[in-house]
Amino acid sequence: MDTKREKAELITGSECLLRCLLHEGVESVFGYPGGNALYIYDAMVDNPEFKHILTRHEQGAIHAADGYARSTGKVGVCIATSGPGATNLITGIATAYMDSVPLVIITGNVSTTVMGTDAFQEADIVSMTLSITKHSYSVRHVQDLPRIVHEAFHIASTGRKGPVLIDIPKDVSNHKLYYQPAAAIRLRGYESNPNLDTDQINILIQAITESERPIIIAGGGVVYSGATNELLEFVIKTNIPVATTLLGLGGFPSAHDLWLGMPGHHGAYAANMAIQHADLIISMGSRFDDRVTMSVDGFAPQAKRIAHIDIDPAEIGKNVKADIACIGDIKAVLNYANTKAIASPSDRWIKEIQEYKRQFPLRYKDSDTELKPQFVIEMIHETTRVEAIITTDVGQHQMWTAQFYKFNHPRSLITSGGLGTMGFGFPAAIGAQIGNPKRLVVSVNGDGGMQMCAQEMAICSIHRIPVKIVVINNQVLGMVKQQQELSYAKRYSQIDLAGSPDFVKLAEAYGIKGLRASNKAEASRVWQEALNTPGPVLVEFVVPKEENVYPMVLAGTALHEMILGDVE
């Protein structure tokens, strides 16, 4: 007699799945049921401690799980059925994959007995998502489920983090097993945290002592590794200025004198010019993507050496040749580096950069008759005292938020970087608020992206999730319009959003308070009302469609070839 089995309880695969998720510490799951996931949803009836949020679209579910993960550092979880339920997750999976976000995605599938017959709502989601998942599982034997769930969470949350898919056929979810939680992890060939090459770090420290014009480019890896304090200590010891990428914002305090702003396509003048004149570039958890480098041939032409610190060896040298390769978790690399670090001879360089910041700060032409979007972001920044979690959708409002909201804390900006997914911002805010119930969460959206997941206002209304929803309404696809204006000789095509709904009435239809402002006085009044109102509130700020995001580096040009706009 198997005494181990005698102690175990005989349960279904669906009940096993829920217990495994609770065992992993999962606090909330976002999802949408369907036929081939119904055994899983049936098991929830007898598990009142299992918290599930019913979104109104599968894409809303995965974006909410993503926002939860980015804002908490924990693994986000979502569930969907087979076929269209699973395929509706693909954009969200790619969004998380591009930005290294830890998710576990659970999909139902048709029974193993009809797989490959084009059964109703059958789709090979594992094959479809191979290039946008860190790992995938197709569960064929219910006995494997505890191990698979345990491994999935481990893979998603270690090394370079990312999404892991678990596809469960309907019959497997109803098969029975003697349940015991999985214990040890044994994954051949999976190296979650490579050993530090201290020789390379020592070479970097030596290069710093020889550099008169060094700069650090801090990316999302600094935030994901929890290395904010280590980076600050490193900067204090080495006296090196820091530019933070879009996903790196908050990884280094914007209030610090050595912070230069965001580099790249819509980067700050000081950040871009510092990169172009630096003799040493140190990238930390930034993958030198094209929105940061722009023309690679014209990137950092005066750099004698480029150092790249990243946990993923595949990123080293992928886009920009690295002379010094420090492979490893950034927190671990900096912990070692801080035992050796000394100041670079950069005093003259610091003065030069401070002059860049003084002469060319981020600015815009304010107006007493129109409500400028930059003013709205500055107002949100001032009234939230830099303590809010800000989520954004994708477009001009995203760049204005990155420019004019000054982030001092990690995991305070939740935005889609690599994939640039419209419709991401609002459901991500829901996930962030559920993960951080005591913090103010503000969701900044354009009028285009807001309409892609507006149905998720139902969740905020039903559960009284107190997200403050901001809609920057310029009645146009602003970022597309700006590119058509500057690169396509003002040949505007398919950008008019004038037929959009009345967002205030739309919010009210969902049972949410709606407010609107079209000038500064109204903006200040309604925004304060929103902050003082318990529960969710939508505030529409009507802004001119002519406003563009500057500075801007056009595609194919180098970072120093910035267009400064109306204030140039």
To 10 degrees, what angle do helices 269-277 and 347-359 make?
Answer: 150
Residue 4: other Cβ atoms inside 10 A: 9
3-class state of residue 9 by DSSP = strand
- How far from chain centre, in Å, is Cα 462? 26
Fill in the DSSP letter of residue 298. Answer: G
Type of residue numbered 158? T
The whole-number pLDDT of residue 70 equals 98
Q: Please answer whether residues 350 and 258 qualify as being in contact, where contact means their C-beta atoms are separated by less than 8 angstroms.
A: yes
Place of tokens 């009142």: 48
**Per annotation, catalytic residue among 15, 24, 58, 540:** 58
- The string over 131-141, giving b where at least 16 C-beta atoms fall within 10 Å of a residue's C-beta and e elsewhere, is ebbbbbbbbee
Peptide bond into 551 cis (omega under 30): yes
- Count Cα atoms within 13 angstroms, Cβ side, for 52: 20
**Per annotation, catalytic residue among 134, 170, 468, 481:** 170
Tens-digit pLDDT profile for the chain (568 aa)? 454 555 789 999 999 999 999 999 999 999 999 999 999 999 999 988 899 999 999 999 999 999 999 999 999 999 999 999 999 999 999 999 999 999 999 999 999 999 999 999 999 999 999 999 999 999 999 999 999 999 999 999 999 999 999 999 999 999 999 999 998 888 988 888 888 999 999 999 999 999 999 999 999 999 999 999 999 999 999 999 999 999 999 999 999 999 999 999 999 999 999 999 999 999 999 999 999 999 999 999 999 999 999 999 999 999 999 999 999 999 999 999 999 999 999 999 999 999 999 999 999 999 999 999 999 999 999 999 989 999 999 999 999 999 999 999 999 999 999 999 999 999 999 999 999 999 999 999 999 999 999 999 999 999 999 999 999 999 999 999 999 999 999 999 999 999 999 999 999 999 999 999 999 999 999 999 999 999 999 999 999 999 999 999 999 999 999 999 875 5
Nearest to 334 by CA among 244, 205, 247, 206: 205
Max CA separation in the chain (angstroms): 84
Exposed/middle/buried for 304, CB within 10 Å: 0-12, 13-18, 19+?
middle
Nearest to 234 by CA among 382, 344, 308: 344
The whole-number pLDDT of residue 1 equals 41
Q: Please answer whether residues 472 and 446 qualify as being in contact, where contact means their C-beta atoms are separated by less than 8 angstroms.
A: yes
Report how far residue 228's alpha carbon sits from residue 158's, in angstroms, rounded to the nearest whole number.
Answer: 18
Report how far residue 495's alpha carbon sits from residue 545's, in angstroms, rounded to the nearest whole number.
Answer: 11
Across 205-323, where does the E strand assignment appear? Answer: 214-218, 242-244, 259-261, 280-284, 305-310
Backbone torsions φ then ψ of 215, nearest 5 degrees: -150, 145
389-392 and 413-414 strand pairing: parallel
The answer to whether residue 288 is catalytic is: no
Strand partners for 167: 107, 138
The whole-number pLDDT of residue 2 equals 52
The whole-number pLDDT of residue 166 equals 98
- The string over 167-188, giving b where at least 16 C-beta atoms fall within 10 Å of a residue's C-beta and e elsewhere, is bbbbbbbbbebebeebeeeeee
pTM, full prediction: 0.96
Strand partners for 80: 32, 107
Fill in the DSSP letter of residue 437. Answer: T
Structure tokens at 104: 């576990």
Interacting residues of 371 by C-beta distance below 8 A, sequence separation 6+:
517, 518, 519, 520, 522, 523, 541, 542, 543, 544
Place of tokens 């090394």: 159
Cα dihedral 392, 398, 401, 403 sign: positive
The answer to whether residue 121 is catalytic is: yes
Structure tokens at 97: 């994959």
The whole-number pLDDT of residue 514 equals 98
The whole-number pLDDT of residue 5 equals 56
Report how far residue 210's alpha carbon sits from residue 345's, in angstroms, rounded to the nearest whole number.
Answer: 7
DSSP per residue over 75-135, as a string? -EEEEE-STHHHHTTHHHHHHHHHTT--EEEEEEE--TTTTTS--TT---HHHHTGGG-SE
Nearest to 154 by CA among 17, 58, 19, 25: 25
**Per annotation, catalytic residue among 120, 212, 355, 382:** 120
**Per annotation, catalytic residue among 44, 294, 379, 479:** 479
The answer to whether residue 494 is catalytic is: no
Across 450-549, where does the E strand assignment appear? Answer: 468-473, 513-517, 537-542
